[in-house]
Structure 1
Amino acid sequence: MSPPAVPVHPVTPLNELARAEAAPAFSPLYRQIKGLILKGLQAGEWKAGETIPSEMDLAARFGVSQGTVRKAVDELAADNLLVRRQGKGTFVATHAEQQQQYRFLRLTPDGDASATLGRQLLDCRRQRAPAWIARLMHLRAGDPVIEIRRLLHSAGHPVVLDDIWLPGAMFKGLTTERLLEHRGPFYGLLETEFGVHMIRAQEKIRAVAAEEDSAALLQVTPGSPLLSVERLAFTYGDKPVELRRGLYNTSHHFYRNDLN
């Protein structure tokens, strides 16, 4: 006897929304739309500082209501990935904008919260990644990295000594000359020249005593208290693309954070 026939159901063609593999079936629809917009950002469809399509256009593209798109865009704006501008549209957030320049730097002067920081480049070199850097940045030990050392000044006085590491393969062409030429924010340079957008960061903070070399650069006496801030910054897809170790002189500054 032949086995019973197995019913065959017609296969429904997958639309763009159903192809979003990263969105599980139970995910709310607006979260799925958020994931699709994120994929467009990650693919470079809309670059830093550029406008994205209107909510109406995105709703037509994804086959959902305008309200669903608005909720997805609201979350991306709350995550500082998009910026709404009244009467102008919605733009991809960029660290080149004044209000975004110091988004990851929480050092605030005691008397003037609007003060800006000057930069002094001390060194920029290519080297092989030590094991501890490779581990944090998901590289292989010995992969090329760019190491940058710089001072940040407030009112002419050094307040931050930064050591920065970037994956060498992602930032070919980043040289001392290019850094000295650039007048805007550091992350703005990485966006415009290399298409790498820092979207979030993790920090570890501890109190340390200034050693001889750091004390000389920060113009404090050896043993003075400093704030050590280690930051790992990520781009789309939670890919780590910058490791930074900063020593902060907080004698006339404080570390500010907003907790929700």
Structure 2
Amino acid sequence: MRSTAPTFSPLYRQIKDFLIASLERGEWGPGDAIPSEGELAQRFNVSQGTVRKAIDEMAAENMLVRRQGKGTFVSTHSDPRSFYRFLRLLPDDGVAVPSVSKPFFCEKIPASPEVARELGLRLGDPVIHVKRLLSFAGQTVVFDQLYLVGDLFNELTLEALRAGERSLYSLFESDFGVRMISAEERLRAVAADAESAGHLGVDVGAPLLLVERTAYTYGNKPVEWRRGLYCTAHHYYRNDLG
């Protein structure tokens, strides 16, 4: 019988896992400063270079942000610099303009097979279904449908979605303690159905860009699945590949 070799994890990755666990527990909240590299090195009894490598990787993954001369902080969706991280739509002239979110539907529903699969739930588990429109410079460009894990967003209401001018992810972070760390998207061309055509002011059958996004919080846990229909008559989807 051939024995299975144990999986080796570099020391800095182990430190990274410890730090992520601290973020999950809420030891440091969004916007908080974390201890210095020297303090963390003492806590974990490792070199400062090992801690620095773990923090560098977390900063590259947008979990932490370094501020010159101030320290390292937990990333937050309230930071204006994070606004365009998950929204990649630009007008044809390439000049970004603020979007206006107009939620119009929010109800708890049982998870369909597709939603359950995307969110790692059981069929029929509760999810929060949200519909909203996004407009740019007065023009409606996006029709979004969101499906959120019901246990995490049980108290979400349409009134809360409409209150204030926070982004959805900023609302989820501040009111529900759920921070979106990463996301994966699938893009394809589709034809507008009657509902999306009505919301976006296009003809039924007009070409739209469908963006399906699964967003994850700490621990790579899926918490949101979104289907966004984008009208690209005067806008385009931009993705920077570094």
**Among 118, 129, 133, which residue is 1:151 paired with?**
133
> What CA deviation, in whole Å up to 9, does each residue of 1:109-160 have, x standing for no partner?
1224331111111211111111221121111111111100000000101010
Q: Which moved more, 1:155-164 or 1:165-174?
A: 165-174
Measured in 2, the distance between the counterparts of 1:255 and 1:49 equals 29
**Is residue 129–residue 141 contact of structure 1 (8 Å, CA) maintained in 2?**
yes
**TM-score scaled to structure 2, two decimals?**
0.94
Aligned twin of 1:40: 22
Aligned twin of 1:107: 89
Tell me which amino acid in the other structure corresponds to 2:35: P
* Identity fraction in percent: 55
Measured in 2, the distance between the counterparts of 1:241 and 1:176 equals 19
Aligned twin of 2:222: 240
1:1-260 aligned within 5 A: 26-260=8-242
Cα distance, 1:192 vs structure 2: 0.8
Number of equivalent positions: 237
Cα distance, 1:232 vs structure 2: 0.5
Higher Rg of the two aligned structures: 1
Tell me which amino acid in the other structure corresponds to 1:42: E
**TM-score scaled to structure 1, two decimals?**
0.88
Tell me which amino acid in the other structure corresponds to 1:146: I
Cα distance, 1:172 vs structure 2: 2.1
**Is residue 151–residue 161 contact of structure 1 (8 Å, CA) maintained in 2?**
yes
Unaligned runs of 5+ in 2: 1-5
Measured in 2, the distance between the counterparts of 1:221 and 1:71 equals 52
Cα distance, 1:176 vs structure 2: 0.9
Tell me which amino acid in the other structure corresponds to 1:219: G
**Is residue 182–residue 189 contact of structure 1 (8 Å, CA) maintained in 2?**
no
The residue matched to 1:142 in structure 2 has which SS? coil
Cα distance, 1:88 vs structure 2: 1.4
Tell me which amino acid in the other structure corresponds to 1:104: F
**Is residue 58–residue 69 contact of structure 1 (8 Å, CA) maintained in 2?**
yes
Cα distance, 1:25 vs structure 2: 6.5
**Is residue 104–residue 158 contact of structure 2 (8 Å, CA) maintained in 1?**
no
Cα distance, 1:187 vs structure 2: 0.4
The residue matched to 1:245 in structure 2 has which SS? strand
**CA-atom RMSD in angstroms:** 1.3
